[in-house]
Structures are given as structure tokens and as C-alpha cells.
Amino acid sequence: MQLRQLFLINLIVVLLCSLIVGFSWLVNRNALEGAGLSVFQAQGRAAFELIRAARHWNADTEGVYVPVSPEISPNPYLRLPDRDITDNHGRQLTRINPAYMTRQISEQLEGQDVALRITSLKPLNPTNAPDEWERSALTWMEQSGELERVELFEGRYRYMAGLNIVHSCLPCHEQMGYKIGDLRGGISFSRDAKRMDPLVNGMLERVDNMHLWVWAVLVVCASVLASLTFGFWQRLMGSESVQQRLRSLVETDYLTGVLSRRELMSRLEQEVERTQRFASPLALMMIDLDHFKQVNDRFGHAQGDRVLIAVAQALRHELRKVDSIGRYGGEEFTVILPNTDAGEASKLAERLLQRVRELELRTETGELLQVTISIGLVCNRDLSQIMTADSLLRSADQALYNAKHAGRNRFEQEQLPA
């Protein structure tokens, strides 16, 4: 049972440590990834400004002509009469507008660490159609009016900057319903998150390792502490159990199970003090087994012990929970009766006498024993009378002596001395 409890405690400790360290790990990773996003956003913004400056230069010069080659073919989406010309050397030249120039740059970056794309929700060139993230970013820009978005998406840092229609764009895009100021698309940059920034990635790796070590150390320390605390608690509970047993041995008569004389006297002192404070009635009985010495002499002390146990049980059966009964010594018992006047105490004494008379006790040989008791009773008839535990005991003892002298198997009542 204890091993199962210890296992459950350590399991809870492991779960709590995992929760705490996991939360810290998540917060730190998010912070570092946020820093990585900020770095990539700055890089993407700088690259976009360079591309935009080159595009503006291209537009301001109304495009540039370059030789046609296997890598650069005429732009089929640029429908201008002077798109293709031949120079003085007989070389065929084709006009490169800003969009086609951006497309050529993106192709030059293929296979590199950084990817660049020009895209639009309504592209002239189908190859410029947006991917999932680009479509989401462009849609968001149209709805929000923002012209920039950065995210970590599927292990890659993604940056998108919007392109608005300017006057130089109308020759190509006016036919699609665009007007000046409309968002016609954007330039998208992406980079593998693991290769984006060695510093950030190194810090992320250190955060992972550090939290793993912290978790392991915390689990070990917390488990050891929990186990030690559990062991201490078990010893403490065991110690309290021992103390309770010791207290029970001190407060209880080892043979009959009633109060010991020491505890009986302590209870009597408390009841006398309470009775004096609240002016309430109190009765005390001294009870002695008649001719008990003859039982011991004739049948042995073991039989005498059995008689004492039976009589104690019979007496306790007739008492209330608030009453106290203890073994005063030998075959003598004392009963404390709080809030009990002389009339009630007399009736109880009669019941106790009858109860003991009705006991059917037999010896080991089967011989029937007739057991009787004598009772000395004292009550505080005058509730304002000053009394002590000693005065009560002396008066009850005198009443018991009178009952013995009067023939036994009866009770006598004595008055408290004035």
C-alpha cells in the first residue's frame, strides 16, 4: 500500500515538473522564434526595398532591352509593338518590364538559401499564381489594408510585401480592372527557419537542452524530496499512533478497559471545577465487589480477573456517555455522574445492583458464581456548597463502608460535610 502511494506521489511530481518546465520551454521558444521573425522581417523589408527601387528604375526608363537567350525569352504577356527589336549588330533584343525583371531575379535565386517570388491573386502569368500561404497573406492584405506580413509557416520564415498599382503598371494591368492604388500582388520571400539565423537556432538548441536538463534535475530532486517527506510523514503518523497507544495505556485500566485511577482523578477534578462554576448537580459512586477475596482464594486470580471484567462491562452498560467509570483499585470502581441529582443517582444505583445480580458467571469447572456489589453514593444537594474531589471521595467511601456494614448487596447515601 505504501509503495503504491509513493509511486502515485512520484507520478504526480513528474507530471507537475513536466508541466512547469514545459510551460517555461514553450514561452522561451516562442520568444526566440519571435526574435527570429523580427530578424527575418528586417531582412525581407530591406530586400523588398532593393527590389522595389530596381522596379521603379525599370519603370521610369520604360523598361530595358536585353539580348534574347535560352535563359531570357520574350515576355509573352507584354503586348507592346516595340517589345522585340534588332540592334545594329543584328542581335535580337527583348524588352524587360519590372514584373519580368523580378521574375528573372527569382529564377536566379532558385536553389539558393533565400527564395523570392512575385505573385498575385489575379496573375497575368499563371506561373506567378500564389501558394497557400501567399494566397492567405494577399487576401489578408486586401481585407485589412496592410502591406506587410511575416510568419513562421511549415518550418520556413515567410515574408510578403504588397505592390500597389502605379501609373506605369496600367499598360499591362488596366485590362484586368485594376486602377491606381489597388493591391495588384506582392513580392514574397522565404527561408528555411533552421538556416535563417545561426544565432537564433543555436539559442533554440540551447534552450531545448537546458530545459531537458532542468526537467531531469527537477524531477530527481522533487522525487527525492517527495519520498523523504512521505517517509517522514509515515514515521510521524506511526509516532502519533504509538503516542495514542501509550496515552490509552496511561488513561485506561489494562484489565477491565475502564479509566485508570490517574485518569479518573483527573476527570473528577474537572467535573468538580465545572460543577462549582455552573452550580450544577454532581454525584459520585464508590463500588466494591462483595467477598471478592473468597473468589480469588477459592478459584484463583485468573477467575477473579474474569469476574472483574464482567462486572466492569455490566456497570458500563448502564451508564450514559457523559458518565465516567474507572478502577479505583483492586476490586473497587468509581463512577462520576455529571448533572445528576440524588434521586437520579439512587435509581441508577438500584439498576447497577440488579444488573450485577443477574450476571451468570461460571468457573472453569462450570460452577455458577453469585456476584454482588455494594455502593456508596454521595451528591451535592446544596448546589452552592463548596466541595472538593477529596471531600467527595471521603464521603462516598464512608457511604460504601456503611453499605458493607449494613449487609452488602445494597447502596447507602452519605451527605457532604458542611
* Residue 61 amino acid letter: T
Say what the pTM is.
0.47
CA atoms of 70 and 94, how far apart (whole Å)? 13
Give yes or no for a contact between 92 and 109, defined as CB atoms under 8 angstroms apart. no
pLDDT in tens, the chain (418 residues): 567 777 787 778 788 888 888 888 887 777 777 777 787 788 888 888 888 888 888 888 878 888 988 888 888 877 788 888 888 888 898 888 888 888 888 888 887 878 888 888 888 788 888 999 999 999 998 888 888 999 888 888 899 998 876 666 656 655 666 666 667 788 898 888 777 666 666 777 787 888 788 888 888 888 888 777 777 766 765 555 555 665 666 678 889 989 999 999 999 999 999 988 888 899 999 999 999 999 999 989 999 999 999 999 999 999 999 999 999 999 999 999 999 999 999 999 999 999 999 998 988 888 888 999 999 999 987 766 778 899 999 999 999 999 999 999 999 998 877 6
Give yes or no for a contact between 318 and 339, defined as CB atoms under 8 angstroms apart. no
CA atoms of 249 and 303, how far apart (whole Å)? 23
CA atoms of 149 and 221, how far apart (whole Å)? 45
Residues 6+ apart with CB under 8 A from 38: none
The burial class, CB within 10 Å (0-12 / 13-18 / 19+), for 70 is exposed
DSSP, res 126: G
Nearest to 309 by CA among 262, 356, 247, 263: 356
Give yes or no for a contact between 189 and 52, defined as CB atoms under 8 angstroms apart. no
Q: Would you say the C-alpha torsion 51, 57, 63, 69 has a positive or negative sign? A: negative
* Tally of helices (H runs) and strands (E runs) in the chain: 11, 14
